[in-house]
Structures are given as structure tokens and as C-alpha cells.
Amino acid sequence: MVSDSTFPVIAIDGPTASGKGTVAQLVANHLGFHYLDSGALYRIVGFASLQKNIPLDQGLALAKMTQSLQIEFKGNNIFLDNQEITELIRTEEMGLRASAVGAIPEVRLALLSLQKSFLKAPGLVADGRDMATVIFPEAILKVFLTASAIIRAERRFKQLKNKGISANIDTLLGDLLARDERDTQRKDAPLCQAIDAHLLDTSNMDVEKAVQKVLFWYQKVSKEGSI
């Protein structure tokens, strides 16, 4: 895989609650790269569409709304039209809403150039569902990070518990499988492993090991041109 852009991109895709966000952010910190959490953008669009009462069958209106949103990432905080929404978009409800707006081609198109604009010196780690296949097909390293559904549901359960939010593991598993189904079955940019992506199954791997693996692959591909 050879990057045709000036700055390197590491694309990390995978299903919900696989831990790809945590791994991507730590890899970005380690390399001093920028970080794109593309799922947050879909969550923001889902959140705004509810706030503005725009139904999901209004693709063009949703695309117009998406282009008019003022989105700012400041450190770990996310602002929409100057309102802090960091935690408001992290709920299960917003995850499902994000998955619904993510299935609308007009919305995906409206988010294209914003996502590409995250690529700046010295490089970018981008996580999502279609980073390797659609947004950054030129990525120097592509990783498909996954874990079994039950492990992912347990991780989400622990995350919510740590935040003091009560949850039911069976409900979480059901929501997660519904989201997987919609994300993999949609026509436009479905979740799938790019043919040139490296599979990283973290079912029996902690975060630190997963980060080390991605960094190892990156060093190798940077030096040798392949893994």
C-alpha cells in the first residue's frame, strides 16, 4: 500500500464498541498525529436532526442541515453551534440515530469534505466504518479492528457503568447487533474489511497490546513499504 497524499493516514475501521476509538486515539497521541472520530460526526448529525425535527426520509434537507452545522473539536470536547455536546452524543439512542443517518447517501456525501479536511501535517489516524474503503483509500496502513459481539457488549456495559449509567447487557447486545446489521447491510459505504486491511481481533487482547500492534505495523510499512 503506498500513500499518494503528502501526509500519512492510518485508517482504522470496525464495528461498534470494538475499541477502535480508544486504540486510534492512543496511536495518534503516540505519533503526534491528528485524530478523526468520524462516528462523532454521524452522531452530531443524528443529534441535530432530532433537535431540528428533520425526519429521516428527508435526505436533501438532512444534507443541507449537515452542511450548515458549525462543528468544533476542542481537545476532547465537541461543540455544535457553540453548544457543548460531548456527552450528549454518546448515548445508545444517539448511536442508533447515527446509524440511521449514516445509511442516507446524501448525508454521507455532505460529510465527505469535512472528513478529508482532517488530513494535515504530520499525519492522521482516522476511525470509523469506511475510512479505508471510501474516505482515505490511499491510507498507508489499514486496520480492521473487531471483537466478538458478546465481548463488545461487555465492554460497552463497563463503560456505561463507569459513567454511572445503568444498562442491561442483553439490551446492549441486541442494540449492538442491530447496529452491526444496518452498518454492514446498507448500500452506501457499508462496514466491511478493505481487501488490503489488516485484521486485528481484540477479543482476547488489551488496549495496550492493540496499540503496540498498530504502531508496529505502521513502523514496518513506513520503513519497508509493506507488512
The binding site for ligand C5P (CB under 6 A) comprises: 16, 38-39, 42-43, 95, 98-99, 102, 128-130, 179, 183
Question: Distance between the two ends of the chain, CA-based, in angstroms?
Answer: 9
Residue facing ligand C5P at closest CB distance: 39
Between 13 and 211, name the residue whose CB sits nearer to ligand C5P.
13
Residue 188 or residue 201: which is nearer to ligand C5P going by CB?
188
Nearer CB in complex with ligand C5P: 8/39: 39
Ramachandran assignment for 9, one of left (phi > 0), alpha (psi -120 to 50 degrees), beta (any other): beta
Q: Report, in Å, the least distance between residue 136 CB and ligand C5P.
A: 11
Residues 133 and 108: beta-carbon distance below 8 Å:
no
Q: Which is nearer to ligand C5P, 211 or 222 (CB)?
A: 211
Nearer to ligand C5P by Cβ, of 8 and 102: the residue is 102
Residue with cell 448511536: 95
**What's the min distance (Å) between Cβ of 17 and ligand C5P?**
7
**Nearest distance from C-beta of residue 102 to ligand C5P, angstroms:** 3
Q: How far is the CB of 225 from ligand C5P (least distance, A)?
A: 27
In whole angstroms, give the CA distance from residue 185 to residue 207. 28
Nearer Cβ to ligand C5P (115/218):
115
Minimum distance between the CB of residue 169 and ligand C5P, rounded to whole angstroms?
18
In the complex, least distance from residue 120 CB atom to ligand C5P, rounded to whole angstroms: 19
